[in-house]
Structure 1
């Protein structure tokens, strides 16, 4: 009986840790994406080009150089 209570408690702790990690990961990735989009918009876009278009162009250029 005691063993099953420990297993249940460990599962709850593990679930809480994983959920917290996912929240932190999402926040960090979201913040990075905002910074990346701002940088691309300010410094790497060409006339009349959007951020996503600039990213695709840069990716194609990078692949062409490899």
Structure 2
């Protein structure tokens, strides 16, 4: 009986920890993406090019040169 209560408590704790980790991860990735988009928009886009198009172009250029 005590063992099953410990297992249930550990599963609850694990679920909460994973949930908190996921929220932190999403926040950090979202923040990084905003910074990356701003950098690409400001310094790497060519005239009339969107951020997504610039990222795709840069990825193609890096794949062909490497």
TM range (shorter): over 0.9
TM-score by length of 1: 0.98
Deviations 1:13-51 (A, max 9, x none): 000000000000000000000000000000000000000
Q: CA–CA distance in 2 between the matches of 1:45 and 1:13?
A: 46
Q: CA–CA distance in 1 between the matches of 2:56 and 2:11?
A: 43
Which consecutive aligned stretches of 4+ in structure 1 deviate over 4 angstroms post-superposition?
Answer: none
TM-score by length of 2: 0.98
Unpaired runs of 5+ residues, structure 1, are none
Unpaired runs of 5+ residues, structure 2, are none
Aligned partner of 2:58 in structure 1 is 58
Count of equivalent residues: 66
